[in-house]
Structure 1
Amino acid sequence: MPDDFPFHGRRFHADQFARLLRQTKPSLVVVQGRRRIGKSAFVRHCGQTYGDHYLKFEGLGPREGIGKAEQLACFAEQLAAQTSLPKMTLESWPQAFQTLATVLPQKGKTVLLLDEISWMAIGDPDFAGHLKIAWDNLFSRRKDLVVVLCGSMSSWIEANLLNSAGFVGRCSWVFTLPPMPLPECIPFWRGKASRIPVLEKIKTLAVTGGVPRYLEEIDPAQTAEQNIHRLCFDPGGLLFREFDDLFSSVFSRRADRYREICRALGGPSKTLTELSRDRDVGRGGIVTEALAELESAGFITSDLPFDPSTGTEQRSAKYRLSDNYTRFYLRYVDPERKRIAKGLFRQRALETLPQWDTLMGLQFENLVLSNRDALLRLIELGNTPILNAAPYFQGKTLRKEACQIDLLLRTKKSLYVVEIKLRGRIDHSCITDLQEKIRKLKLPKGTPCRTVLVYQGELDPGIADEDYFDYLVPFERMFESG
């Protein structure tokens, strides 16, 4: 988040960070999350708000010719800029860490951020080992020090830090910074937020999701369509240029394959078997590894169905593209990329784009699913233990009919069946459709089953009059703070 944009939100995580700084012992923290999600801005905010000193070192982005020497030279420049040391030549990471340890502030709480840690490690396969030794022998001896390791390449962090025997028991806190919750998105519309219709906000979030770097680009004086055209369909727009940089910097040489997997997930969710049938995404272990990396990097989500009667998880997961920007870009921007780059793409109403209503439905579901805590609060489950929660899909067998439910929630006492609708007008069919889905579940007799409709659009009067739904949740309520 740029320095001139006021920091807001992230209250829960900020409180956790402040707690670490109140302790009289050193702490090692690992922060993960999608690129542009605001990891560095969050750590900077916490370091400058709760600490006495804040230092940041960032690795150089991957490109041809970048190796250990270039990373060390960059580290040396940042060291000289933030301390009293002159610029020097560093020959190794042990030397770099030793030098840094000698100039850390002697008094007061200090936050040390090593940002884009996987980039910093480029060219040195022993980087993680050197870092572990530096923590054990140098940094962990400073009781007022919090060292934060941050990066977008979650697969590197998993392999070299979280799953490494060398770091076992050393991390005080490991967390993934999620997209901004809906209530925390409102300030990006600034003082005009209360005057902007809910559907306008939904259109914007259908492209940006809860990614703060994208939300910062909102011009509240413009309509959602104007903002989207400026950001996505103009050759100078941030979200026109963003995709290639985003995937190349996170996935490097695997970017093209990962793009095709995301493209294959651009519609309804798919199982691994269904994905492997696509000739452009590869087979078997290749796809499994790619899916794990895409999920850890925050682009896709695996939904594991469960037995509605017990909450027990089943085996066959389905994968969905949960990053709204990626789906929008691959569906509408990428196919027109050459025309947009030449300035030949004419503005057109978003509703006239191919399958616009279908895409908006998928994006709207993503917004609801990624803000499940807000929904739980609105249906009076905020303080109730949830045994399981996920979109539900049931394949056709000799004994069961095919069935798909937007969201299923299982508590100890009840099953909650959630229907998610984005339409101009929502008619009585939403009741009959849900009744049919519940029939196909074949629940044991006497299973308490609550029904929920999360919606944006005009409800037919008969829906409320029939009193079928236990909870009617207009989407605008999900913007309310808990």
Structure 2
Amino acid sequence: YFKNNPKLLLILSGSVSSWIEKNILASTGFLGRISIDLLLEELPLHECTAFWGKYKQHTAAYDMLQIFSITGGVPRYLEEIYTEQSASNNIQRLGFSKNGFLFKEFDKIFSDLFDVRSEKYKVIVRKLAYGHATLDEIYTTLDTEKTGVVTNYVADLIAAGFISRDFTWNIKDGKDSKLSVLRLKDNYLRFYLRYIEPNKERIARDTIGVPQQLSSILGLQFENLVLANRKAIYNLLSLNPNNIIVDNPFFQRKTKRQQGCQIDYMIQTSDSMLYLCEIKFSKDKLGLQVMHEMQEKLARLSVPKHFSKRAVLIHVNGITTDLAEAEFFTKIISFEDLLT
């Protein structure tokens, strides 16, 4: 058909690129090189603030955080924000109203992208909505044996930008380990699965407001926002991206020779520096407790002798005078720093 119509162009676009790769790019029936492979990520936080327009300078960082906790850096969601209103009012209108944009979005996403297989994908993201999980734990949740089918489901969700597979690594050579955890990186999905889906009937009857326990997911949501804005962290730490060997959430399994340890986000550079970043959400100012927790992690982390370690704190609502005067953290980064 194309041979007889040389001026005909076929343009394929999709959120799940794995289908295109399997059925088009890897097919012997289609010839030609890829002109451009473009992966659209969420907008950086400093660009997202432009959606507040004239209210940008007069909106508290915590108010913005609450919005980002349900939208992430997705422009289409941010377009729905009424910037003259508070975060609470926006969340009520978008998520807890039967006509709310975010109330209806979840089913559209999964029916459009995954069609008849959508239920399997939903089971996986529901599991991850409550915290990180290993691939083995996903097999258990699906009540299935280890097969390539489940691995493909996970790969599709990664390709669609909904989840991330975070590999830990060997500090000695900077190479990825076989050990990894799956993380729900899409803030909207967690918001929907934790608070909208269980209350759909009440929302449809307009008999529910914004749940008070909504703040319970802000820790995980804040972590996602930080990990999605790594370039800003590099700049704030005065790091050259070309000198970064690997950066990711890091965990060390307990063995006879070493203790277990988990770092929210760690950066390893070519000059044998390790930046251990504690990503901490709190409604109140952080005190000396967060320093003691990091001291424990520094003591547990097993590293080669020639490596140096630096502690970094990334927070939301400030720190106490005691913590500031302790001068323990090499760098203290506030959420506001990520917005500029």
Q: TM-score, normalised by structure 1?
A: 0.67
CA distance in 2, matches of 1:429, 1:169: 58
CA distance in 1, matches of 2:111, 2:48: 27
Task: Check the 8 A contact 1:281/1:287 in 2, yes or no.
Answer: no
Name the structure 1 match of 2:61: 198
Of 153-162 and 310-319, the range deviating more from structure 2: 153-162
Task: Check the 8 A contact 1:309/1:447 in 2, yes or no.
Answer: no
**What is the CA-CA distance between 1:384 and the residue it aligns to?**
4.0
1:284 to 126, 131, 146: 146
**What is the CA-CA distance between 1:370 and the residue it aligns to?**
0.6
Which secondary structure state, in structure 1, belongs to the residue aligned with residue 42 of structure 2?
A: coil
CA distance in 2, matches of 1:202, 1:167: 46
Which secondary structure state, in structure 2, belongs to the residue aligned with residue 459 of structure 1?
A: coil
**What is the CA-CA distance between 1:382 and the residue it aligns to?**
3.7
1:449 to 305, 309, 314: 309
**What is the CA-CA distance between 1:449 and the residue it aligns to?**
1.0
Task: Check the 8 A contact 1:260/1:281 in 2, yes or no.
Answer: no
Give the AA of the match of 1:180. L
**Paired residues for 1:71-90 under 5 Å:** none
Give the AA of the match of 1:317. S
**289 and 229 in structure 1: CA distance in 2 versus 1, 3 angstrom threshold:** same
2:229 to 362, 371, 379: 371
Task: Check the 8 A contact 1:365/1:420 in 2, yes or no.
Answer: yes
Q: Which has the higher contact order (CA 8 A, sep 6+)?
A: 2
2:279 to 409, 415, 420: 420
CA distance in 1, matches of 2:301, 2:191: 33
Unaligned residue ranges in structure 2 (runs of 5+): none
Task: Check the 8 A contact 1:295/1:301 in 2, yes or no.
Answer: yes
Is the counterpart of residue 407 in structure 1 residue 265 in structure 2?
yes
**312 and 369 in structure 1: CA distance in 2 versus 1, 3 angstrom threshold:** same
Give the AA of the match of 2:334. P
Task: Check the 8 A contact 2:318/2:334 in 1, yes or no.
Answer: no
**151 and 254 in structure 1: CA distance in 2 versus 1, 3 angstrom threshold:** same
Give the AA of the match of 1:94. F
**What is the CA-CA distance between 1:420 and the residue it aligns to?**
0.6
Q: If you compute each CA radius of gyration, which structure gives the higher value, 1 or 2? A: 1
Name the structure 1 match of 2:5: 98
Is the counterpart of residue 359 in structure 1 residue 267 in structure 2?
no
1:15-74 C-alpha deviation (Å, 9 max, x unpaired): xxxxxxxxxxxxxxxxxxxxxxxxxxxxxxxxxxxxxxxxxxxxxxxxxxxxxxxxxxxx
CA distance in 2, matches of 1:113, 1:94: 9
CA distance in 2, matches of 1:162, 1:225: 45
Name the structure 2 match of 1:303: 166
CA distance in 1, matches of 2:42, 2:239: 22
Task: Check the 8 A contact 1:308/1:415 in 2, yes or no.
Answer: no
**218 and 113 in structure 1: CA distance in 2 versus 1, 3 angstrom threshold:** farther
Using the aligned pairs only, state the percent identity: 38
Q: State the aligned residue count.
A: 337
Unaligned residue ranges in structure 1 (runs of 5+): 1-92, 103-111, 118-149
Task: Check the 8 A contact 2:72/2:225 in 1, yes or no.
Answer: yes
CA distance in 1, matches of 2:150, 2:58: 45
1:157 to 14, 20, 25: 20
**164 and 375 in structure 1: CA distance in 2 versus 1, 3 angstrom threshold:** farther
Name the structure 2 match of 1:466: 326
State the Cα RMSD in Å: 2.0
- Once superposed, which parts of structure 1, at least 4 consecutive aligned residues long, lie more than 6 Å away? none
Which secondary structure state, in structure 2, belongs to the residue aligned with residue 362 of structure 1?
A: helix
Task: Check the 8 A contact 2:98/2:203 in 1, yes or no.
Answer: yes
**Paired residues for 1:343-354 under 5 Å:** 343-345=206-208, 347-348=209-210, 350=211, 352-353=212-213
